[in-house]
Chain A
């Protein structure tokens, strides 16, 4: 079955601390992987995506993610979190021959000053 698991429902970090949000996927074909961010009351903004090639991808706002095929993971990282990063983060998987994205349940990030 195709699915995305985000094991951490809620994460709290201090401003300036490093961050890693976990994402594991199950997908029968070559996966295309995405991280989206949703601020309160807002839509979904793409942070970064992986289709092929270099397994470490850079995104907006200083985020990066690493695709590890052997672990079926696509974890999101940021070296130093800012208070404005507080939001909900969604990992999603898609494929070449499908229209739909399958989303994880999201991780809510809280940042303390």
Chain B
């Protein structure tokens, strides 16, 4: 069964550094998402991406964040200058279309900012 994959599984970085989290969505999916889960808290929506542009974003997704689909398979989340509070599990998700279709989640990247 096809699945969403994410790399790396864990990343440790210093505050102020840039990080790029990578995701490979399911191949026939057209809508892509990033969510995050701070330890012990609920999963929160960050951004959705369709047709090479952001379709929806939350208030968390400020100018420090950007997303890109650099080629036909990868979907990336960049944090320009990481802060301590960016430490979280970041989940990528994808789905075929909007509406009632299921979002399929990847295993996540655990980011630790020191």
Instruction: Spell out A's residues near B (CB within 8 Å).
Output: 32, 34, 36, 42-46, 49, 51-52, 90, 92, 94, 96-106
Contact = CB atoms under 8 A, between A and B. Distances in A.
Contact of A100 (B4, B58, B99, B105): B58
A107 to B, nearest CB: 11
A99 B105 contact: no
Contact of B102 (A43, A49, A96, A102): A49
Nearest to B56: A99
A81 B48 CA distance: 35
Contact of B104 (A46, A90, A92, A105): A46
21 contacts: A32-B100, A42-B107, A43-B4, A43-B108, A44-B43, A44-B105, A45-B105, A46-B104, A52-B100, A90-B42, A96-B98, A99-B33, A99-B55, A99-B56, A100-B58, A101-B35, A101-B43, A101-B103, A102-B45, A105-B42, A106-B42
A102 B46 CA distance: 11
B92 to A, nearest CB: 9
A43 B31 contact: no
B51 interface: no
A43 B91 contact: yes
B106 A43 contact: yes
Interface string B1-43: 0001000000000000000000000000001010100000111
A105 B98 CA distance: 24
A96 B31 contact: no
Given A51-B100, A96-B100, A100-B56, A43 B44 contact: no
Interface in B61-108: 91, 98-100, 102-108
Given A32-B100, A51-B100, A96-B98, A103 B44 contact: yes
A86 B102 CA distance: 23
A34 B102 contact: yes
